[in-house]
Structure 1
Amino acid sequence: MTELITPEKIEALFTGADGTYAFARWGRPIAPIVFGVADDTLATVKGALEAVVTLAGHQMAETDPELGSNLMVFFFRDWSELLAVPDLDRMIPDLAALVARLSDVQAQQYRAFCFDDQGGIRAAFVFLRMSGPLAEIPAETLALTQAVQVVLLWGERAFAEVSPLAVLPDSGATILRPEISGVIAAAYDRMMPVAAQDRSHALRLYARLQGPRPGAPT
């Protein structure tokens, strides 16, 4: 693991385009709901979420006592479809302006997060426009990629150049890159904070990659 990642690379994963460091993990069990897919794809998405949440040592739930569902995943063909979703404008500030902006740039995906008083993730929204390149990605790969990107608050360009996934050359199976799975597991260590803005947090994550972690899969 130490040969695959450095403190600087971990820091880059949580550094925004403006140069600020911002990390957050879920502060409550994740209760997902998925819109716009058939049952088989629904099972694939939830299976990927369960796999990543289990890796993190976190929990999933059927419902959130405050919000009902705190992770909402939307699959659609056109951004304008979001304007017809009941009450979505109450959860996403300036929804109409956001939809217009995403439509103008022909965006394929967008994620929005809400946070609790401790800075941990309270809710998340994942929007996937299933046309163009995104529609060509296998469902399993797309689901696992989205699960990784929603389990933590990553920097905007964390996976812009290198995917969090890798393909095994022998079997062709798609897996989560070991260094990324290690960061996720370390981030959910019970001794780590649910949120951080100081770059020293990256050093603490790195330190937890140097040996076995309680509860980590072997």
Structure 2
Amino acid sequence: MTPEDVTALFTRADGQYLFARWGRPIAPVVFGVEDATLATVKGAAEAVVALAGHQMAETDPELGSNLMIFFLRDWQELLETPNLDRLVPDLAPLVARLQEAGANQYRFFRFDAAGGIKAAFVFVRMDEELSKLPAETIALSQMVQTILLWSDTAFAGQSPLARAPDGTLVLRPAIAEVIRAGYDPVLPVMAADASHALRLAARMGAMQ
């Protein structure tokens, strides 16, 4: 992966470069799934966090759970979730935009004083398209897209996941390298200058 490729992963549609990683251990909670799927989601979380060299926790001292993953059938369900409007600003207009766009997923992040991720809210609407996918595919995809603050266009053309020759679902090696390098302690927890991508690419090369 070239430095230009890395830059593109964190350059938003408006041209702004913005990278952020979690600044605290991740304490997830999952809503709207059965126990079997819950285990799949938590397994995906553990795998991606381990890949990053980051940590998980039972609870977050400030928020209780700092990664909330919601599986739902209709966006309207978000408006019926108690107190969610306190956590996600402008929830009603957001739901209206998601309905109008026919979206099937949305991620919202909150940040700490240093710019690191301190909370994430993941909403997955199980439409016809997503309902055809195995739970492991959805869970791993969402965790990969939540472990870093990627560009809003990062995976528009290609999924971060791939199938190994034996059919096993795996993370694309280049994306795995970006995640590992992104959590290298020598790099900042947040960066808004594209020169950061050069440092990120250099760390990826050093890890090989």
| Offset, 1:212 | 3.0
1:201 is the counterpart of 2:196: yes
Which runs of no fewer than 5 residues in structure 1 stay unpaired?
214-218
| Aligned partner of 2:127 among 131, 140, 157 | 131
Give 1:216's aligned residue: none
| Offset, 1:101 | 1.1
| Offset, 1:134 | 1.2
| Aligned partner of 1:97 among 72, 93, 99 | 93
Give 1:6's aligned residue: 2
| Aligned partner of 1:53 among 49, 63, 68 | 49
After TM superposition, the score normalised by the length of structure 1 is: 0.94
1:181 is the counterpart of 2:205: no
Give 1:168's aligned residue: 164
Which piece of structure 1 moves more, 204-213 or 178-187? Answer: 204-213
Give 2:77's aligned residue: 81
Equivalent AA in structure 2 for residue 202 of structure 1? A
| Offset, 1:209 | 1.4
Q: How does 1:11-160 map to 2 (within 5 A)?
A: 11-160=7-156
Give CA deviations for 1:57-102 in whole Å, capped at 9, x if unaligned.
0000000000000000000000000111111000111101111111
Measured in 1, the distance between the counterparts of 2:207 and 2:40 equals 30
Give CA deviations for 1:125-158 in whole Å, capped at 9, x if unaligned.
0000011201111111111100100000000010
SS at match of 1:75: strand
Give CA deviations for 1:26-62 in whole Å, capped at 9, x if unaligned.
0000000000000010000010010000000000000
Measured in 2, the distance between the counterparts of 1:81 and 1:10 equals 36
The percentage of aligned residue pairs carrying the same residue is: 66
| Offset, 1:211 | 2.7
Measured in 2, the distance between the counterparts of 1:9 and 1:151 equals 19
Measured in 1, the distance between the counterparts of 2:147 and 2:207 equals 21
Measured in 2, the distance between the counterparts of 1:90 and 1:44 equals 28
Which runs of no fewer than 5 residues in structure 2 stay unpaired?
none
SS at match of 2:49: helix
Give CA deviations for 1:161-188 in whole Å, capped at 9, x if unaligned.
011011112x111100110000000000
RMSD, aligned CA: 0.8
Q: How many residues align?
A: 208
SS at match of 1:52: helix
Give CA deviations for 1:108-131 in whole Å, capped at 9, x if unaligned.
000000000000001000000011
After TM superposition, the score normalised by the length of structure 2 is: 0.98
